[in-house]
Amino acid sequence: MKQKTTAMLPLYRKVKNYIIDQIDSGELKPQQKIPSENQLVRIFGISRMTVNRAVRELTDEGFLVRLAGVGTFVAEIKVQSHLLEVHDIADEITARGHAYSRRVIEHDFIVAKTDILSRMAVSAATPVFHCLILHFEQYVPIQLENRYVNPVVFPGFGSVDLTKTTPYEYLMRVAPLQRAEHVVSAISPKTSVRAALELKDGEACLLLERRTWVKDKVATYVQLYHPGPRYSLKDQFTRK
Amino acid sequence: MKQKTTAMLPLYRKVKNYIIDQIDSGELKPQQKIPSENQLVRIFGISRMTVNRAVRELTDEGFLVRLAGVGTFVAEIKVQSHLLEVHDIADEITARGHAYSRRVIEHDFIVAKTDILSRMAVSAATPVFHCLILHFEQYVPIQLENRYVNPVVFPGFGSVDLTKTTPYEYLMRVAPLQRAEHVVSAISPKTSVRAALELKDGEACLLLERRTWVKDKVATYVQLYHPGPRYSLKDQFTRK
DNA sequence: CCGTGGAATTGGTCTATACAGCTATCAACA
DNA sequence: TGTTGATAGCTGTATAGACCAATTCCACGG
């Protein structure tokens, strides 16, 4: 029986894991310098070509940034890939040079309905954090954020001042995520959503549902409602 | 003045370009075997490690598939990356084990409206191919495909029998694409679309617009309409 | 006729070494 | 004081050689 134990991993994979684990655990933080190739050579007792491959691949994958003559550094958290990058809506809007504002409608600690619970894979006895925030671009509502947060992963979320910090900002600062799932669909909004987004009768709504994981636990489940006439998702890619 | 000419590219990059160019030009087709590492060593007169790096990176990037003891082959066209993979809807449905069928509503050679022309970056004097196809999953309409095809890139598209071949199948066979753009939005369908997709009054519609490029020319522009209640886009990613 | 056991081919990994180019530092010099 | 220049440490690329593992194929023997 052939097991993929750590012991039989190729050396360059071990080095990659060594570095990734330090980033995940927080021992290595963004901007921080990692050991040089020659230091890693000494640490592992392997050749520099092998270390080089490990570090180069992590760089290609976006975890590290290298600067010849200076060193190798942990990259800023990258949470994108795929069309659906995980961004802060506030950053996005200000990046367009537009005015951003938001209104925190709810921020509480609730026992969620069963459909939410099942999506978060938490037991019915566990209350979860919840918030409902309306985001404005140029004073026009552009996103309604209905978010559920797992208190096991983010125990401090209840005491965050969401008027000063966006959920994104807080969650990213506390724990880097490792997995995400997106579902995009078009819906006819319920009246409450329609009212919030100032949609006319019959106008459609783009719903983006996102689940993120931290250490194999669902960290958050969020429903992002967007006004159909004023919002679209765009994605480009070129190869080579 | 330092120019990034071909001459001063690193060797492994030259090998990568050599292979990619053969794929792009059609000299190497999917499934086809490429020269072995030792053959490339002889062709370029460089060391195997360098060839290995080139081929390994192309494999990581999805252009090639390797099989130890057998050889290296050109991968099936990968036109994904990002959430919005470019697939054949027919394959997708049959892969789910469902019945697939389609109805070709229109297939013609028209002078498109200005908004279409501008999206395709062709002059007003140039007629383009057009087709309108309704796709069914289990005999229920699931996608309305409104496609415009640049005759400069695909001169033979007008004479394809779309009841036997899907546009995707034909287009992919004739020319691999190099760039794509997707825009996802939620709309309230016009009556014609609503009727085709058998939507009830007030039901939303998920619109996916896609432009693809071949050799810096817009090859196709397609609008894909989906019934909101019966369709969603899903995307997952895990790192590591 | 079938299977078994090399041998050849191919990819996967690793080593030891080399040289080029870039950058920060610091000492020597004008 | 301010500039120059050497140097040490870093990444980037490339080489030649080696061993292993997976696969294919063919010759040989039952």
Question: Higher-confidence residue: B24 or A50?
Answer: A50
Q: Does the pLDDT value for residue B135 go beyond 80?
A: yes
Closest CA to A148 of A220, A225, A224, A212: A220
Task: Kindly report the backbone phi and psi dihedral angles of residue B223, in degrees, each rounded to the nearest multiple of 5, phi listed first.
Answer: -110, 125
C-beta of residue A219 within 8 angstroms of C-beta of residue A154: yes
- What is A6-74's CATH number, 3.40.50.2300, 1.20.1290.10, 1.10.10.10, 1.20.210.10? 1.10.10.10
CB-CB contact of B206 with A184 (8 Å): yes
**Which has the closest alpha carbon to A24: A221, A213, A218?**
A213
pLDDT in tens, B76-107: 765 544 456 667 889 888 988 899 999 999 99
Checking each nucleotide's C1' against the CA of A50, the nearest proves to be C14
- A225: β partners: A144, A207
B72 touches strand D (CB under 7 A): no
> Could you tell me the pLDDT band of residue B52, with boundaries at 50, 70 and 90?
very high
What would the two tokens of residue A179 be? 């997995």
Structure tokens at A117: 């619970």
Q: What pLDDT score does B189 carry?
A: 94
Q: What is the pLDDT of residue A5?
A: 53
Domain ranges of chain B: 6-74, 89-230
What's the CA dihedral at B107, B111, B114, B115 to 10 degrees? Answer: 10
Q: How far is CA A60 from CA A26, A220, B60, in A?
A: 21, 28, 10
Q: What is the pLDDT of residue B169?
A: 85
Q: B82 to chain A: nearest residue by CA? A: A82
pLDDT the model gives residue A76: 78
Got the DSSP string for B182-213? Answer: EEEEEEPPPHHHHHHTTPPTT--EEEEEEEEE
B8 touches strand D (CB under 7 A): no
Q: Which residue of B has its CA nearest to A207?
A: B186
Beta bridge partners of B155: none
CA distance B182 to A235: 5
- Contact at CB, A186 and B183, closer than 8 angstroms: no
How far is it, in rounded angstroms, from Cα B144 to Cα B133? 6
- CB of B228 within 8 Å of any CB in chain A? yes
Q: A234 vs B83: CB contact, 8 Å cut-off?
A: no
Average pLDDT over residues B184-198: 95
Are the C-beta atoms of B144 and B224 separated by less than 8 Å? yes
Q: What average pLDDT does the segment B198-216 reach? A: 91
What whole-number percentage of chain B has pLDDT above 90? 60
- In CATH, B89-230 is 3.30.60.50: no
Asked if residue A173 keeps its beta carbon closer than 7 A to nucleic acid strand C, the reply is no
Cβ-based contacts of A185 with chain B (< 8 Å): 206, 228, 231-233
| Cα distance between residue B111 and residue A130, in whole Å | 53
Q: Nearest residue to C9, CA vs C1'?
A: B69
Three-state SS string over chain A comes to CCCCCHHHCCHHHHHHHHHHHHHHHCCCCCCCECCCHHHHHHHHCCCHHHHHHHHHHHHHCCCEEEECCCEEEECCCCCCCCCCCCCCHHHHHHHCCCCEEEEEEEEEEECCCHHHHHHHCCCCCCCEEEEEEEEEECCEEEEEEEEEECCCCCHHHHHCCCCCCCHHHHHHHHCCCCEEEEEEEEECCCHHHHHHCCCCCCCCEEEEEEEEEECCEEEEEEEEEEEHHHCEEEEEEECC
Which residues are CB-neighbours of B57 under 8 A, at least 6 positions away? B12, B16
Q: What is the pLDDT at residue B218? A: 93
**Angle of CA points A149, A140, A147, to nearest 5°:** 5
Fold match flag (B6-74 vs B89-230):
no
Q: Beta-carbon neighbour count of residue B69 at 10 Å?
A: 4
d(CA A14, CA A6): 8
Q: What's at A33, amino acid-wise?
A: K
pLDDT at B162 over 60: yes
For residue B121, pLDDT beyond 70: yes
pLDDT (tens digit, 9 = 90+) per residue, B166-186?
998 898 778 777 788 888 899
Whether the beta carbon of B173 falls within 7 A of nucleic chain C: the reply is no
Q: Give the pLDDT means over successive 10-residue stretches in chain A (240 positions).
A: 60 94 85 94 95 94 90 76 66 89 96 91 89 96 96 94 92 79 91 96 92 88 92 74
A 33-92 residues inside an 8 A Cβ radius of B: 49, 60-61, 81-84
* Residue A67 CB lies within 7 Å of the nucleic strand C: yes
